[in-house]
Amino acid sequence: MVTITDVARVAGVSKNTVSRYLNSRGYISQGTRNKIQEAIDMLHYQPNQIARSLYTNRTNIVGLVIPDVVQPFFATMTSRIEDELNQRGYKMILCNTMHSSDKERKYLDMLTANKVDGIIIGSHSIDINYADIKAPIVALDRFLADAIPVVSADHVQGGMLAAKAFIDRGCRNVAQFIGSSKVRTPSIERHKVFAERMHEEGISCATYELDLNQFEFSTYLTTANDFLVDNPTVDGVFASDLVALAVQRKALESGRRIPEDLFVFGYDGSFVYQIAYPILPTVIQPYRRLASTLVDVLLKEINGEKLDEHLYVLPVTISGANGEGAEPSSAHSSKVRPRISLPF
């Protein structure tokens, strides 16, 4: 088993110098750094993480808590966050809650008990007191507690871009699908501004609310089918990508032309919007910038630095006509809920 002593011998430096290099403490010349790293690579040395964490009071591990990794938005964010953490020398523990508050509580207990350096939370639980968690936390598109910073896309901009697309298309009778209003999230702003713009243009706009933690595509298909049967005169639908794709599929099956008879517009812009035909026009969330900002903010918290702000809002983009752009369980009810009114 290779030890730190072996690394020091091969590099021609003291064991203390190798230790300072591994723990990023004190000045070490670049030449010495290169020698140590060459010795580590040649010997395939693996530092003792337990001993190292005791010495530095850090584990270099971050927990990511999300509701459903199969959902394309969270799948894409998970990939980007893991990559960002890896570039900063951190490992990630993925906690996929599967829309269960009890499961999330167990994950949070596990993360804090093992003293991870910080936690990124994007789950949709509504009955957990996140303010009581004793660890640095940053929220992904959620309002968890007053003191917890939030990173999100610019949903106001996204709602405006989507509204413009419907106005330019000449739609007169549109509908939008929103997530459960029980979840406090900045994303509601896109639906508010969308409804406002429709109202200003004299366009009829109905808003339909999905169930809490309704994520499975099969439930979206049932919801879409019921909606289209009940609303044959609707000529435009705005929804997150998976819901929009379910509506588009059911509309095509019923003989409606896309976009001639029904204009469908999405929101999220993960890989799925380009899979269907016709390609779904959509607002694209800035996944890499979201991930980078989440990690930046969390590392500032971990290092005890003062944060510049509490809410970090990043601009979105929109896919082109050709789809180019920048970068639930069966137990849930699948019926369309009655339309609700959003305040203007």
pLDDT digits (tens, 9 = 90+) for 12-35: 999 889 888 877 677 899 999 999
Residue 212's SS3 state is coil
Confidence bin at 59 (pLDDT 50/70/90)? confident
Confidence bin at 327 (pLDDT 50/70/90)? low
pLDDT at 192 over 50: yes
**Residue 189, C-beta contacts closer than 8 angstroms, at least 6 positions apart:** 155, 156, 159
pLDDT at 51 over 60: no
pTM for the full model? 0.79
Q: Are 181 and 124 in contact (CB under 8 A)?
A: no
pLDDT at 221 over 90: yes
Rounded Cα distance between 60 and 325, Å, is 34
Please compute the mean of the pLDDT values over residues 223-240 and round it to a whole number: 96
CA of residue 307 relative to chain centroid, distance: 21
Residue 326's pLDDT is 46
175: which 2 tokens?
A: 């509908």
Please compute the mean of the pLDDT values over residues 99-123 and round it to a whole number: 90
- What is the percentage of the chain residues whose pLDDT exceeds 70? 89
Rounded Cα distance between 178 and 135, Å, is 31
130-179: pLDDT as tens digits:
999 989 999 999 999 999 999 999 999 999 999 999 999 999 999 999 99
pLDDT at 320 over 50: yes
Residue 52's pLDDT is 52
pLDDT at 323 over 50: no
Residue 319 or 215, more confident: 319
pLDDT at 107 over 60: yes
Residue 3 or 241, more confident: 241
Residue 45's pLDDT is 84
pLDDT at 344 over 80: no
Residue 322's pLDDT is 45
Going along the chain from its start, the domains and CATH numbers come out as 4-56 (1.10.260.40), 61-153+288-314 (3.40.50.2300), 155-284 (3.40.50.2300)
Pairing of β 204-209 and β 173-178: parallel
pLDDT at 99 over 90: no
Confidence bin at 79 (pLDDT 50/70/90)? very high
Secondary structure element (H or E) that encloses residue 295, with its range: helix 287-302
Q: What is the mean pLDDT of the chain?
A: 88
pLDDT at 101 over 70: yes
